């Protein structure tokens, strides 16, 4: 998920102020000057393409406390520069695609002067890359920082976390409404839908099985939308989705359309 847009985006005075603020953050974080992005990453040949972080992470195992310490150092470095974590992510995201590549992550951390080796950065990159796609999304970056900092007020991390997931909840609710409507239009009852997902009738389904089933029924959902639907479900102690939980979501969606 990309970082949320700066307030005042668009054209006119508000946009000019936002652009000036972003430039100031970049200069404060990186010691750069206006004109030419201060975080333009070096050639990918020096670092490797997507997936390289995970490929090298096994070379030097580190403890979870190391991860927490480094994330706290990132947060404190941003706080000391008076930078909000959302603006910081935009600076880190040099090409503006909403994701941090290994090159962007390495180059950005070098400007924070944390004294991390290349192996340290590779290891940390692999830890933050929860879905192992070789990139760090805004959501991955923000979630790991929120779990690591003792004070959620640091660099506005707590506020950013709350606002991001509130927006995600709204979007997910709308998606479940679309799913409920689609099943209703096909004349399927909730029980028929549940039977479709829970083929063996054991009352539980894994997130992966649910994702696969949503793709099979061809509701026109994108990969990101399927991920959003499954990510918000409550899991039991074994990591499975209760069929009752799924029934509740489908019924809510169908009811909202009546």
What is the reported pLDDT for 197? Answer: 75
What is the reported pLDDT for 201? Answer: 73
pTM, full prediction: 0.52
DSSP code at position 235: B
DSSP, residue by residue, 10-35: SSSHHHHHHHHHHHHHHHHHH---SS
Residue 44 dihedral angles phi and psi, to the nearest 5°: -65, -15
Is the confidence at residue 49, as pLDDT, over 60?
A: no
pLDDT-derived band at 48, boundaries 50, 70, 90:
very low
Strands 136-137 and 204-205: unpaired
What is the reported pLDDT for 202? Answer: 75
CA distance 240 to 20: 47
Type and span of the H or E element at 109 = helix 102-112
Is the confidence at residue 130, as pLDDT, over 70?
A: yes
Q: What is the pLDDT of residues 61-107, one digit of tens each?
A: 677 789 999 999 999 999 998 989 999 899 889 888 889 999 999 98
Interval 187-211 mean pLDDT: 76
CA distance 241 to 133: 24
Interval 27-51 mean pLDDT: 43
Closest by CA position to 157, among listed 70, 89, 67: 89
Structure token pair of residue 198? 């829970």
Q: What is the pLDDT of residues 207-247, one digit of tens each?
A: 777 777 777 777 777 777 777 777 666 666 666 777 777 77
């Amino acid at each position: 998920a990309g970082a949320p847009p700066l307030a005042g985006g668009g054209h006119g005075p508000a946009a000019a102020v936002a652009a000036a603020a972003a430039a100031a953050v970049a200069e404060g974080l990186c010691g750069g000057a206006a004109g030419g992005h201060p975080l333009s990453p070096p050639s990918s040949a020096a670092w490797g393409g997507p997936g390289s972080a995970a490929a090298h992470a096994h070379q030097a195992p580190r403890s979870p406390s190391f991860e927490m310490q480094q994330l706290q150092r990132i947060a404190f470095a941003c706080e000391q520069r008076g930078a909000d974590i959302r603006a910081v992510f935009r600076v880190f995201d040099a090409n503006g695609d909403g994701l941090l590549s290994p090159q962007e992550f390495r180059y950005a951390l070098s400007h924070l002067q944390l004294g991390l080796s290349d192996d340290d950065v590779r290891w940390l990159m692999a830890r933050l890359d929860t879905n192992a796609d070789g990139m760090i999304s805004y959501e991955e970056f923000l979630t790991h920082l929120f779990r690591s900092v003792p004070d959620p007020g640091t660099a506005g991390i707590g506020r950013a976390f709350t606002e991001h997931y509130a927006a995600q909840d709204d979007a997910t609710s709308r998606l479940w409404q679309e799913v409920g409507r689609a099943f209703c239009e096909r004349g399927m009852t909730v029980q028929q839908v549940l039977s479709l997902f829970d083929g063996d009738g054991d009352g539980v389904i894994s997130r992966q099985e649910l994702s696969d089933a949503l793709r099979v029924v061809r509701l026109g959902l994108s990969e990101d939308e399927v991920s959003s639907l499954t990510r918000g479900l409550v899991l039991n102690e074994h990591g499975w989705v209760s069929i009752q939980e799924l029934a509740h979501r489908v019924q809510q969606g169908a009811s909202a359309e009546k």
